[in-house]
Amino acid sequence: MSEYLKIKILNLLYLNIILILYLMDISINLYEHYTKQFKIFAEKFNQQKIDLSKIIPDENTVKQILETRKDYCQLSPEINELLIKYSDEDLKRYLDYIKNYIEKKFMDNKSNDYIKEKLFDNILPLEFNDIYSVLLNELISKDFISNVIEYSDNQLVVINPDDYTNTKPKIENYVPRPNQQEAFDRLEKNGLETGIHCQATGCGKSYIILYYIDYCIRKFKNNCRIILFTERINILVDLFGLSKNNKSVNNEKIQFWKDNNIANLKNLDILNVVNHKDRSWPIYLNESNKPILLLINRAYLTSSNYELVNNVSLVLHDECHNTTSNNCNNFLTFFKNKTILVGFSATPLRTGKDELKELCKIYGDKSKKLNLLTNYNLLFSMNKKLILYPEFYWYELKDNIKMIDEFQIIFKLLENVITHLPYKKIVAWCGTINRTKKWKKIFEDNSLQLPEFKFFLDTSQNTNDDYEKYYKTKGNSILFCASKHREGSDIPYLDACMFLDKVKNRGSIPFIQSIGRVLRKENNKNSKKHKGIIIEGLHYKKDYEEEVLEKIIKYYFILNNVCDDDNTKKYQFEELNKRINIDSDNKQILLKLNTNVLKIKICSSKWNTLVKKLMPLLSKKIKIVENNILYKKLKTPYEDINFKFSKINKCIINNKECINKSYKGIIDYIYEILNDLSQIKKNSIMNIKKEKFEKKGFIYNEKLNISIQGVDSNTAFKEIYNQCKNNNLKMNLCIILKDSINKSFTL
């Protein structure tokens, strides 16, 4: 570390030291004390003879900094008790004492934990024994230092006090949103219930979680023990302001929640195991004599000895769509009958029918139906105006396209999109750090095409303050990142996002998390933002029209938060068929969703072909799902038998032996006996086309003038069985199964 950087850090450190003195209202000349102590120490290490006058702010600047920070640096109740008990001189002497150790920390690049350990050992003067822990936690574990110094990837990043602004969030007359109020009211009326809050991204789910914690504290008092876990670490980090070099939560957030009547967590012990791993957390939870909250990520939770926990008041599970994964399911099953389990997700019903059953086992009611405590899916939340409507722009993307060529496509698209953006503030997700850097460089190299824009980069490798600068911009800016800021990043003035990651099949969770960033409403009556725009590349394939339809279907299912079993698919496909309109003049697909219309603009050379094929493709999908439903309904008593690799030894239909003993030969024979296409199709699970259908997989029956799609032996047996049963045909089949076992089947 350079001498200049050391001194710069010390400068910021001293400002925090005197800030505590200032907040304590200790009667000394703060500026004189600050400059005297700082100069002595700085000159001791100032081997490069740096002009300290350029580093030390003048007295008025120091006073201004102190006044600015006074509003958000609230002293804890423990500090206030010390102010009553000890004199100003005692407290000042102690601050000087711990200051020396903190100075050493920066000189030797020691961690907070190291300094804390040293300050807690026996070298501390006895006269300070009963106050050192309180003051130390206030100085190191709270935000006095971390407000001006960030610790990232083992590099100290200094924020200049001159650039510092008061970032304390403010809410004027906080009023819960309808979805939040519904959750609050149900909790107060019914008490704690096991179930799921389905809350679309951007609806303020975090405040519901905080309200549950507050309720639990009020209900259980000192016996309150809560576990809050998520799949991804960053959700808890962002919510509670956690950091790698600080075990405590952001005290400013705790104070803000209390001041705005959101939740009172002031007397709650918060055990941060998110970025300070400790396998002893079950012991801390069991032995606590105060209300305690465990913050932990799912992977660490389920790999710990959670069976040791003997008393939990409440388990809060954010991202509960992961319930069905083995480890998570085992943990929740263990606590199912021991405590209350409350899940939160924007897409709890994204899975198929089988996984839905597993979800019901954990979060079901007495009838084992999924207990949705509140249900605000994306579409419902849009209609209730809790979040904004999206508008999609899909551009054609070939697999081997060069990034510079893709930029030209995006730029032409942006020329149109920008006119619809009130702020022109965009985030671009690029997939990898390498692609992120390349995309930023391409945009910078072609900045003349976007002359008013500024470009920023934020990845896990960054040590700059690009994100902070981008965050403060009010528009005309693009942030390039790999996958950061998809969850929990409430970026002001953000009105568009771009997917530049070349992902072919985007998962529903990343999609919802990402678009949720731009669909958030601003807490501002004069907001200019009325929609969120999403730009995404659509891969060019031979079956491009199928690709477009699949993406529309997938996003439609996500908006409605429905599972993908066949019965649901059939209903949703039919609904989608009614709602889709094609606007050829503007090359866009319109989805009528209640009183609003969702627009998907297609920037593709294949637009004309797409218009012709889109609706017939949807009709085909409806027919396939209908056949699947029929197939599942037409069960036989022999569902557990595997006919794969079997051979037909004998077949007699209506007392006549079938000469062709292949499955296809027997099906043809039955069809010829029936000789009625409508009757055949009524009871068939096969894909049958009238007349000759020249497509791979179909076999033409000349006698009946129909084409039949080939199927496996299990499906063929089901077809034979059902046609005979439903048409009153006598059947006697002798089949040799794969393992040489002979089976006879008679109707």
Instruction: Identify the CA nearest to 125 among candidates 99, 97, 165, 92.
Output: 97
Residues 240 and 233: beta-carbon distance below 8 Å: no
The kind and range of the H/E element at 690 are strand 688-690
Q: What does the pLDDT look like over 617-655, one tens digit per residue?
A: 888 888 888 777 766 666 778 888 889 889 999 999 999
158 and 219 in a common domain? no
Predicted TM-score of the model (pTM): 0.55
Cβ neighbours of 400 (radius 10 Å) = 6
* Chosen domain end from 580, 608, 632: 632
Q: Which of the four pLDDT bands, split at 50, 70 and 90, describes residue 2?
A: very low
In-domain check, residue 683:
yes
pLDDT tens-digit series, residues 459-482: 877 777 888 889 889 999 999 998
Tens-place pLDDT, residues 350-373: 544 456 777 888 998 877 788 989
Q: Point out the domain boundary residue: 632, 664, 687.
A: 632
DSSP-based helix, strand, coil % in the chain, nearest 5: 45, 20, 35
Assess if residue 227 is contained within a domain.
yes
Residue 504 carries which DSSP code? Answer: S
pLDDT value, residue 58 = 60
* Residue 34 confidence class, pLDDT cut points 50, 70, 90: low
Distance CA 210, CA 629 (A): 44
pLDDT at 623: 83
The CA distance from 144 to 248, in Å, is: 12
Residue 22 and residue 110 in one domain:
yes
674: in domain: yes
Residue with tokens 């699947």: 628
Same domain, 325 and 371: yes
285 and 365 housed in the same domain? yes
120 with 190, same domain: the answer is no
What token pair was written down for 2?
């350079």
Which domain does 289 fall in, by range?
Answer: 184-376
Phi, psi (degrees; rounded to nearest 5) at 261 = 55, 35
Q: Given a cut of 70, is residue 734 above it in pLDDT?
A: yes
Nearest C-alpha neighbor of 194 from the set 9, 29, 368, 72: 368
Is the pLDDT at 71 greater than 50? The verdict is no
Query: 614 vs 635, which has greater pLDDT?
Result: 614
Question: Would you state the structure tokens that stand for residue 639, as one six-digit string?
Answer: 């569902």
Residues 255/168, Cβ–Cβ less than 8 Å:
no
Give the DSSP H or E segment for 619.
helix 607-633
417 CB contacts (<8 Å, ≥6 apart)? Answer: 393, 496, 533, 535
Q: Are residues 742 and 625 in the same domain?
A: no
84 and 233 co-located in one domain: no
Q: Where is mean pLDDT largest: 21-25, 147-151, 397-401?
A: 397-401
Q: Do 340 and 204 fall into the same domain?
A: yes
Closest CA to 643 of 731, 735, 725: 735
Above 70 in pLDDT, residue 76? Answer: no
170 pLDDT above the threshold of 60: no
Spatial CA neighbour of 318 closest among 384, 238, 220: 238
Q: Which is more confident, 190 or 30? A: 190
- Measured CA to CA, the distance from residue 539 to residue 395 in angstroms comes to 8
Task: Place 161 in a pLDDT band, splitting at 50, 70 and 90.
Answer: very low
Within a domain: 460: no
Q: Any idea of the CA torsion for 473, 478, 480, 483, to the nearest 10 degrees?
A: 80
d(CA 630, CA 722): 11
Token pair, residue 723, equals 């046609």
Top mean pLDDT of 43-47, 159-163, 416-420, 514-518 is at 416-420
Segment 477-491, tens digit of pLDDT: 999 998 777 665 678
Percent of the chain whose predicted confidence (pLDDT) is above 90: 27
Residue 558 lies in a domain: yes
Question: Are residue 87 and residue 200 in the same domain, yes or no?
Answer: no
The pLDDT of residue 700: 85
| Separation of alpha carbons 682 and 442, rounded Å | 60
Higher per-residue pLDDT: 185 or 237: 185
Q: Is residue 617 part of a domain?
A: yes
Angle at 62 between CA 59 and CA 66, to 5 degrees: 140
Q: How deeply is 325 buried, as exposed, middle or buried, from its count of CB atoms within 10 A (0-12, 13-18, 19+)? A: middle
User: Residue 92: its pLDDT value, please?
Assistant: 54
Q: How confident is the model at residue 168 (pLDDT cuts 50, 70, 90)?
A: very low
* Whole-number percent of the chain with pLDDT over 70: 72
Same domain, 157 and 208: no
Q: How many residues does the chain have?
A: 747
- Same-domain status, 623 and 700: no
Nearby residues of 530 by Cβ (< 8 Å), 6 or more positions away:
388, 422
- Which of 298-302, 340-344, 572-576 has the lowest average pLDDT? 572-576
Q: Within a domain: residue 270?
A: yes
Same domain? For 188 and 330 the reply is yes
| Better-predicted residue by pLDDT, 196 or 150 | 196
pLDDT tier, 169 (very low <50, low <70, confident <90, very high otherwise) = very low
**In angstroms, rounded to a whole number, what is the distance separating the alpha carbons of residues 684 and 489?**
53
Question: Rounded CA gap, 285 and 283, in Å?
Answer: 5
Last residue of a domain, which of 570, 603, 632? 632
What mean pLDDT do residues 315-321 have? 89
Q: Is residue 484 part of a domain?
A: no
CATH code at position 212: 3.40.50.300
Most confident of 5-14, 510-519, 562-571, 589-598: 589-598
Average pLDDT over residues 576-592: 90
Question: What pLDDT score does 146 carry?
Answer: 40
Q: Which of 72-81, 591-600, 668-677 has the lowest mean pLDDT?
A: 72-81
User: 614 pLDDT exceeds 50?
Assistant: yes
Question: How confident is the model over 171-185, as pLDDT tens digits?
Answer: 455 788 888 999 999
What CA–CA distance (Å, rounded) separates 643 from 574? Answer: 35
- Number of structural domains (the chain) is 4
